[in-house]
Amino acid sequence: MKSRLHKDERYEQLLELAHQIIDEEGTDALTLISLADKAGVTKPIPYRHFGNRKSLLYTLFQDVLKNLSRNMREGINQEAHSLDDAIDVFAKTYMSCFSEHGKSCFSVIAALQAYPEYAKIDLELQAFFCRTLAASLAPFLPKNRQVPDVTLMMIFGATCCVGNMFLNQLISKEDVIKNITHLMRKLINDEEYNP
């Protein structure tokens, strides 16, 4: 058995191991028992942290979104001084998160959709993406301007599409970033946003 960890450390360890199980074996292999085995802990420990498999899957989904949001805020605060910088940071941060957890995130979404209360979980991802993108770009847009929702959704759709191409090894990470930044600049730098 592994050395005793603080409750928060154990929680983080279990989340990381759950992502790992999904990446290596798929969502069907992830149960609270398989997670306990992988962590080298007694079976009740994952149950105390997550309650059931459905809750664990949703927690994994939320974990990916939380990490993306945190990394986005940090990147924007440290690196963005213009709209173009913010677009670059957004594309790079999104692809970094996507390359780390994109496969498991889509697998988790598919598994969650089997539960009636999560049938529209993909819309939650879309809403999160659009809110995060809008918040990241807002400080760099002309005063009283915002990116229309339909434009945000178009960027989300394109990003998911090329992200899936990346996961299927049809395009490189660098090409995804290049194409997404080009698309975003084209859509966002439209005359509608210029004073």
| Digit-coded pLDDT (tens) for 157-174 | 999 889 889 988 999 999
Tell me, rounded to whole angstroms, the distance of Cα 159 from its chain centroid. Answer: 12
Residue 71 confidence (pLDDT) above 80: yes
Angle, helices 32-39 vs 7-25, to 10°: value is 110
Segment 11-38 shows an average pLDDT of 93
The predicted pLDDT at position 143 comes to: 85
Segment 122-139 shows an average pLDDT of 91
68 versus 154: which is more confidently predicted?
154
Contacting residues for 194 by C-beta, under 8 A, at least 6 apart: 142
Q: How far apart are CA 39 and CA 24, in angstroms?
A: 15
The predicted pLDDT at position 2 comes to: 45
Q: How far apart are CA 86 and CA 79, in angstroms?
A: 8
Confidence of residue 42 (pLDDT cuts 50, 70, 90): very high
Q: How far apart are CA 129 and CA 147, in angstroms?
A: 13
104 versus 21: which is more confidently predicted?
21
Residue 114 confidence (pLDDT) above 90: yes
Residue 191 confidence (pLDDT) above 60: no
Percent of the chain with pLDDT over 90: 59
The predicted pLDDT at position 29 comes to: 94
Residue 190 confidence (pLDDT) above 70: no
Burial of 93 (0-12, 13-18, 19+ CB in 10 A): buried
Confidence of residue 148 (pLDDT cuts 50, 70, 90): very high
- In a 13 Å sphere around the CA of 12, the CA atoms on its Cβ side amount to 7
Residue 22 confidence (pLDDT) above 50: yes
Q: Which pTM was predicted?
A: 0.80
Is the separation of the CB atoms in 97 and 67 below 8 Å? yes
Angle, helices 173-188 vs 83-112, to 10°: value is 120
Q: How far apart are CA 152 and CA 127, in angstroms?
A: 9
